[in-house]
Amino acid sequence: MPQMPLRAPRPLASAGALALLALVATGCSGDESATDNPPVGVVRSDQVNVLNATLVTDGDDRGTLVASIVNEAPEADTLTDVAITTEDGALDVVLPDGPVDLPTDEVVRLAPDLRVIAAGDGLEAGFFIEIAYEFDNAPTLRDVVPVRFTEAEFSEIEVPTEEQFDDAG
Mean per-residue pLDDT, 81-103? 96
Q: Which of 82, 83, 54 is nearest to 149 (CA)?
A: 54
* Percent of the chain with pLDDT strictly greater than 70: 78
The number of domains in the chain is: 1
pTM: 0.77
Which tens digits make up the pLDDT trace of 21-63? Answer: 454 454 544 444 445 666 778 998 999 999 999 999 999 999 9
3-state secondary structure of 12: helix
The pLDDT value recorded for residue 3 is 55
- Residue-number span of the structural domain to which 155 is assigned: 40-168
164 occurs within a structural domain: yes
3-state secondary structure 136-147: CCCCCEEEEEEE
First to last CA, the chain: 91
Please tell me the distance from the alpha carbon of residue 3 to that of residue 100, in angstroms, as a whole number: 76
87 occurs within a structural domain: yes
For residue 88, the domain's CATH number is 2.60.40.1890
1 occurs within a structural domain: no
The CB density around residue 125, as the number of other CB atoms within 10 Å, is 18
91 occurs within a structural domain: yes
Phi and psi at 161, nearest 5°, equal -75, 170
70 occurs within a structural domain: yes
Q: How far is CA 80 from the centre of its chain?
A: 18
